Amino acid sequence: MTAGKDSVCVLDIEVRFAETDLMGVVHHASYIVWLEAGRVAWMSQAGLPYVQIFSAGYNFAVTDIHCRYRTAIHFGDPVQVITRLVGLRSRQVEFGYEVVNSATGVVCAAGSSRHICVDRVGAMTRIPDWVVTGLTGND
């Protein structure tokens, strides 16, 4: 995959019972976990595993997360989390997401997350050049 704004990562998930409420409907908090899984998968697919960033002493702290719920997803449904890089600044990265019911093709939720780069002690810092290169696919 070539990284950058045009690259997409599709993560397949089958809804687990633990992700649902008493009615078998996916609990709203599960979507946020799926967005994070989509972001981590996007970075791995781009050749930039998040564990590599973490091991180098950096993290992307969440500064904003948004999810718009459109229609319910149920226990056992196959879903895809579609993730894209939508913004990159010197200290900030933003991802966009769609959660699609794979069986119906219906977009059930859409969201975004913004992250600020921090060092080991949690101080805001510039995104290292090698990470920017990995995110953008520009050598």
Question: Which has more pLDDT, 137 or 86?
Answer: 86
pTM: 0.92
Mean pLDDT, all residues of the chain:
94
DSSP code, position 71: S
Return the active site residues.
21
- CA-to-CA distance for 24 and 130, rounded, in angstroms? 43
pLDDT at 3: 58
Is 139 a residue whose pLDDT tops 80? no
pLDDT at 99: 98
Is 28 a residue whose pLDDT tops 80? yes
Q: CB–CB of 99/83 below 8 Å?
A: no
Q: CB–CB of 109/99 below 8 Å?
A: yes
* pLDDT classification of 6: cutoffs 50, 70, 90: confident
Give the pLDDT confidence of 90-105 residue by residue, as tens digits. Answer: 999 999 999 999 999 9
- What are the DSSP calls for 61-103, one per residue? EEEEEEEEE-S--BTT-EEEEEEEEEEE-SSEEEEEEEEEETT
User: What structural domains and CATH numbers belong to the chain?
Assistant: 8-136 (3.10.129.10)
